[in-house]
Chains A and B, each alone.
Chain A
């Protein structure tokens, strides 16, 4: 279902407060009211409905766990919001382990003064993202801090998922000759966020690519199993960051081809104008796969059949040469080193 239609189905309940105050985090009457009318009602499921401080689920075999905190500004951005990001981010981290995410915990740290309408919008996004990813939110926490001690809202989520029986995801499986496949366009999220950053605003239709990736990774594992050597999502530090990490961990080299990097023309133009390198820009809805060379083309085709991976492409390969270094061939054939990012990427003067 479209997110906009989803919102219409979830009208905000009538509450007797417009903003969230310290009392909403006190554990008393107002906390109960906020949770009952908001969180529990919207996100209800058999485990959450127990309203206990913890949740119980049974598990056999290997379980993957991942936790992440979301502290972004602005909390609403083109193509998504912090709620959707908090679900997708952790779901994807679990999926990158080669697991099938099932449950999520959800904790809010809210700065007093957050508008109830904004909180509601975030909750609806969380519900939408959870249903799309096919996971349940089974426990959580809500705290409210003094004004000035937070930035509207921080969210922490922890995800749990059973390992896929065919998965053997480990950097030790990577070997020279492996192909590197990216699931979709790069740099979209980073540029979408930048376009609404205070003081740096520019007009564009670029929307964040935040999405759950677990359905895609599950499909690949069903089909290719152990021939898939690694999944990794290039979030904050961009494609450059994760590939450098992998090169270092494996003591192998990585060769990329600039002309094969999929990138939306608008995102590319924005990077040109602002003097930013798309390899260092953040992503929220793509992943990198390292796989045997004989199935690389097929994986790319399989991915492309899905609209969330329509621009999947082979972007490079692993080599014995230049261990621990990532090199890229430019469009005109020259090579350069893709360094580990140093801090935040800053727009250049001219």
Chain B
């Protein structure tokens, strides 16, 4: 597969690894922002081949992990309504709300459907004029264009039975919040390659400058990650803090302008609540006034209780890179992938689920 196999070459991987070992002189904490990167680090066993000096911190870039419980409750509330077809991306359905998950209410008879594309949800709405079709639109800037496009399409064909329950979050404000957090111990960031393929990396240039932190736009294959880590280490050793683009085959400085236009046609920036972290100013999207009839929160009077995150789950500290999953009292006991207490244990991209797979196996991760 073009652009995949080249980035999985074992000899090249070893060479980059050697270079990292040669370059690094003292402990460095590097945060990969995206859950997809965490997944790949674990899947390819990179965490246990990196030199001891390097600690990878697993950032908040797993959409499943940062979606607030309240929003899952809202999705459950809607899905339980008669005549509602609730459509969702796959890994959202197993995330526990305060009482139930979407997969549990599906078993009880609710019409919950797993889709790859929100356009499919528009088709379902077209085919089921007597039903209300809601798409659970979560994700970062990567899924925002497709979700926005579904609203534009629904509007174009005059659908009155389609809406989206949106929980879009944005990466740069989260990185800013982490950089400003006094507890944060991050030395450098690997920015999320796919988010940057949509949004470009221009937003990170002032950020790297202001917080004196190297930012390397990084892809997802083993060589991408190793090259990203290598570039970050090199900058740190040389005392530089710049934005570098490792993922040139996908990312440009300005990003995908067409996709950005579609996003801003439908969405505007708003404050957003991040599970485990709290509300971050201007860190998400909400639907513009013009398209408000497609906003499920406005369309349906959603009644859910205010929920506080479980006191014992330390998801926030993990996503800030302050604590490791095994430092959580629930880890592997009350909280496992079969019975997750918090979202990072649900998704395979979540740091806790990833660590659970390695427990008792390798000391150094």
Contact = CB atoms under 8 A, between A and B. Distances in A.
A349 B10 contact: no
Contacts of A346: 90-91, 93-94, 114
Contacts of A349: 63-64, 89-92, 138-139, 143
Nearest to B87: A199
Interface stretch (B19-27, B41-49, B244-252, B306-314): B41-49
Contacts of A343: 94
Given A342-B338, A346-B94, A349-B63, A337 B357 contact: yes
A325 B94 CA distance: 25
B13 A347 contact: no
Contacts of A334: 44-49, 222
Interface string A245-284: 0000000000000000000010011001010010000000
A49 interface: no
Nearest to A341: B337
A115 interface: no
A265 B222 contact: no
B349 interface: yes
B185 interface: no
B358 A337 contact: yes
A322 B113 contact: no
B90 A348 contact: yes
B163 interface: no
A272 B44 contact: no
Nearest to A345: B90
Contact of A336 (B43, B140, B194): B43
Given A274-B116, A337-B361, A339-B357, A350 B10 contact: no
B14 A333 contact: yes
A199 B91 CA distance: 15
Contacts of A269: 1
A331 to B, nearest CB: 5
A333 B10 CA distance: 7
Interface in B69-118: 87, 89-94, 113-116
Contacts of B361: 322, 325, 327, 337
Given A333-B49, A334-B44, A348 B10 contact: no
Contacts of B140: 350
B45 A336 contact: yes
Given A200-B114, A336-B357, A346-B114, A265 B1 contact: yes
Nearest to A200: B116
Given A332-B46, A335-B48, A337-B357, A347 B93 contact: no
Interface string B134-153: 00001110110000000000
Which of A199, A331, A347, A349 is the most central at the interface, judged by chain B CB atoms within 10 Å of its CB? A349
B114 A330 contact: no
Nearest to A349: B89
Contacts of B358: 336-337
Contacts of B139: 349-350
Nearest to B338: A342
A293 interface: no
A322 B360 CA distance: 10
A330 B1 contact: no
B182 to A, nearest CB: 31
A347 B89 contact: yes
B113 A272 contact: no
Contacts of B338: 342
Interface residues of A, number: 30
Which of A274, A277, A337 is the most central at the interface, judged by chain B CB atoms within 10 Å of its CB? A337
A175 B17 CA distance: 35
Contacts of B349: 348
B168 to A, nearest CB: 12
A332 B13 contact: yes
A329 interface: yes
Which of A198, A332, A336 is the most central at the interface, judged by chain B CB atoms within 10 Å of its CB? A332
Nearest to A201: B120
Given A272-B1, A348-B347, A348-B349, A200 B45 contact: no
A333 B347 contact: no
A325 B357 CA distance: 10
A202 B47 CA distance: 34
B348 interface: yes
B4 interface: yes
Contacts of A339: 337, 356-357
Interface in B1-47: 1, 4, 8-10, 13-14, 36, 42-47
B330 interface: no
Interface string B311-333: 00000000000000000000000
B262 interface: no
B187 to A, nearest CB: 22
A343 B93 CA distance: 12
Which of A198, A200, A339, A348 is the most central at the interface, judged by chain B CB atoms within 10 Å of its CB? A348
Which of A272, A334, A335 is the most central at the interface, judged by chain B CB atoms within 10 Å of its CB? A334
A274 B89 CA distance: 11
B280 interface: no
19 contacts: A198-B113, A199-B87, A199-B124, A202-B116, A265-B1, A277-B43, A330-B45, A331-B8, A331-B44, A331-B222, A332-B44, A332-B49, A334-B48, A334-B49, A335-B48, A336-B358, A346-B90, A347-B116, A349-B90
Given A202-B116, A339-B337, A349-B90, 19 more contacts: A199-B124, A272-B1, A277-B43, A330-B45, A331-B222, A332-B14, A333-B49, A334-B46, A334-B47, A336-B358, A342-B337, A346-B91, A346-B94, A347-B89, A347-B116, A349-B92, A349-B138, A349-B139, A350-B194
Interface of A: 198-200, 202, 265, 268-269, 272, 274, 277, 322, 325, 327, 329-337, 339, 342-343, 346-350
Give the top 6 A-B pairs by smallest Cβ distance, nearest first.
A334-B45, A346-B90, A347-B90, A332-B13, A330-B44, A349-B89
